[in-house]
Amino acid sequence: MNSIYEMKNYPIIMINTVLSPLSFLIVITFVSRGQLIGEAIEGGLIMSMFQAGTSLQGDLSHYKNDFKLQDMVVSTPCTPTAYVAGMAIGEIIYSIPALAVLVVLAGIYIHPGFVDALELLGVLLLMFMASVTLGFTLSTFSSDIVQSFAFSRLISTLFSTLPPVYYPITYIPFPYRYFAYLSPTTYAAEISQNSTGMVQLDATAVATAWIVLAAVAFVLLLISMRKARWRDV
């Protein structure tokens, strides 16, 4: 119901999921005259995975408040982890059209090696896990689908549009560059760009980026486990 049914009966959903990351890719590519196409492709992958996780907030809120699905699930042996995992898989299915296009473009323009591909996959999974836990936590506090969509758009803008995801952080002048490091997607982009040779980072910077990403994902998971309201009391 959350993914395959809607995509099968409403194909416009697939067009929407593809256009969102590709629109930024096209703009960056044209503005840079093709010089940043590799960074833009990796940025599209990061944005797709991050938005897939944050989109979970809207769906969970809709089912919780409008269909009372969460109330029914609470009364069953189903755990919050199983429920969120199932919904998260649905969000990944939503993103398959965009991810498929971006993976093909990556193979054509970036040519990542096996190790590079594993690094990119690790970054994307960490981004997805962090955004899923954030989306789930916010959905349990949301009382209306309109409020959830507002939060979702705000988070997407703050973490996947404003930070240097589609281009190197060196394009941002000091001291504004320090603000970019407040977003975990900045570290994800740096790891991805370094792994494919688009930017050159020393081992300390790469290790720091991995630690920050892992720490953000862990902290958001911890907050989700302790603060999310799974059942009303």
pLDDT tens digits, one per residue of 13-44: 777 777 778 888 889 989 999 899 999 999 99
CA dihedral over 201, 204, 209, 213, signed as positive or negative: positive
Alpha-helical runs (H) found in 32-113: 37-65, 69-74, 80-109
pLDDT tens digits, one per residue of 132-169: 888 888 777 777 767 777 777 788 788 888 899 999 99
H helix count then E strand count, the chain: 10, 0
Whole-angstrom distance, CA of residue 185 vs CA of residue 47: 8
pTM of the model: 0.87
Whole-angstrom distance, CA of residue 199 vs CA of residue 201: 6
Whole-angstrom distance, CA of residue 54 vs CA of residue 120: 20
pLDDT tens digits, one per residue of 212-230: 999 998 998 888 777 666 6
